[in-house]
Amino acid sequence: MTAENVAECDTVLCVGDTTFFDYGSIEAKKEGYGPIGKGGNGLILHSALAIEPENGQSVGLLWQKLWNREPKAKPPLDETPTQKKQRQAAARKEARNRPFEQKESYKWVEALTLVERLVSQQTRVIHVFDREGDVTEVFDKTRQLQHTGVLVRAAHNRSLDSNSERLWSKLEAQPIIFEQEIELPPTQKRTQRQTKLAIRFCAINLRTPYRFDNRDPLPVYAVYATEVNCPEGETPVEWMLLTTEVVADIEMASMILRWYSYRWRVEEYHKIFKSGCQVEKYRLAAEGMKTLIGFLSVIAVELLQLTYLHRTQPLASAIEILNPLELKKL
């Protein structure tokens, strides 16, 4: 249904993020759950949420993946410190050598590929990821797709194609092109506030690692935003954004910043899951829980839609969100 709705749009944003559901207090039904975080036990959910690019209104879900990690084998009781280091080193080596398709980070590329097939070719889909999605495979896959782009917050000070120059030093050497005021959404580490950002941008080429068959550089645009006059006691905002979209002027750079600010919609979606839908309060066996999460995922996305319709279109008709039967019953 979401794919049909976005088929009417020239461009749609697809914001992705991962959350963890902790069911560590379930003692009798642990099969099908797995380790998460520091000693937790539960499920992992990755959501790809369609967002309208003009005002950030949620449209619906385009893709979702739910899984559990396999429990790790317990170490031998008589393991020495040296043996522990050797075991952990062997585990890290094994993890590095696993095919990319078997790693959890494959979820980012999986979302690109499956959403490309789902959405009309007349609609350009721009995937928006936080730093966890700064994976070279994401940029490499994007250049193989026809109507897909990405906007990712950089996590790595990557080597650029010319003279081993680094990403941050390249952008810091650029002049400030303009300043822009934006509203920062609240996070666990900061309160919501209005702020001013100084913006630099330019085209760059990312060096492709040796593990790729195609060693051609990855051409992208970088938009670098740093906070001006950060309030005392707050951590200054610094966004290094990489995108496959052409950023040739102030208007487009400003749009990229606005699009990235909509990434918090998926975090709010997961928050609704945990608070409004109270997904971690249920006590089901894993298979039943996975089915229930499917239902709750739809409820959570409709609650998110209502939240933003109330903020952006408070006088809109109820038929915008409810079908005629739902409206009649209500």
Instruction: List C-alpha distances in Å: 245 to 146, 177, 199, 306.
Output: 13, 18, 17, 30
**214 burial type by CB count under 10 A (0-12 exposed, 13-18 middle, 19+ buried):** exposed
Is residue 152 within 8 A of residue 243, CB to CB? The reply is yes
Distance CA 305, CA 321 (A): 8
Q: Could you identify the residue written with the tokens 């088929």?
A: 7
pLDDT in tens, 230-281: 888 888 889 999 999 999 999 999 999 999 999 999 999 999 999 999 999 9
Distance CA 134, CA 108 (A): 9
Q: What's the confidence (pLDDT) of residue 162?
A: 62
State the DSSP string of 236-272. Answer: PPEEEEEESS---SHHHHHHHHHHHHTTHHHHHHHHH
Instruction: List C-alpha distances in Å: 38 to 41, 127, 185, 269, 274.
Output: 9, 29, 27, 23, 19
Is residue 129 within 8 A of residue 155, CB to CB? The reply is no
| Residue ranges of domains in the chain, CATH in brackets | 1-79+106-130+264-330 (no CATH), 153-262 (3.90.350.10)
Is residue 210 within 8 A of residue 222, CB to CB? The reply is no
State the DSSP string of 131-159. Answer: GGG--HHHHHHHTT-SSEEEEEE--S-PB
Q: Could you identify the residue written with the tokens 């080597």?
A: 159
Distance CA 28, CA 209 (A): 46
| Beta-bridge partner residues of 42 | 22, 34
The tens place of each residue's pLDDT in the chain, 330 residues long, gives 899 989 989 999 999 999 999 988 776 677 889 888 777 789 999 999 999 999 899 999 999 999 998 887 777 778 888 888 888 888 778 777 788 888 999 999 999 999 999 999 999 999 999 999 999 999 999 999 999 999 999 999 999 976 778 999 999 999 999 999 888 877 777 778 888 999 999 999 999 888 888 888 999 999 999 999 888 888 888 999 999 999 999 999 999 999 999 999 999 999 999 999 999 999 888 899 999 999 999 999 989 988 888 887 888 888 877 889 989 998
Residues 6+ apart with CB under 8 A from 71: 34, 35
DSSP element (H, E) containing 198 = strand 193-206
pLDDT in tens, 101-137: 889 999 999 999 999 999 999 999 999 999 999 999 9
SS (H, E, C) 305-316: HHHHHHHHCCCC
Residues across the chain:
330
Tokens of 61: 């879900």
- Phi, psi for 323 (deg, rounded to 5): -85, 165
Is residue 23 within 8 A of residue 41, CB to CB? The reply is yes
State the DSSP string of 199-221. Answer: EEEEEEEEPPPTT-S--S-EEEE
- Phi, psi for 275 (deg, rounded to 5): -95, -60
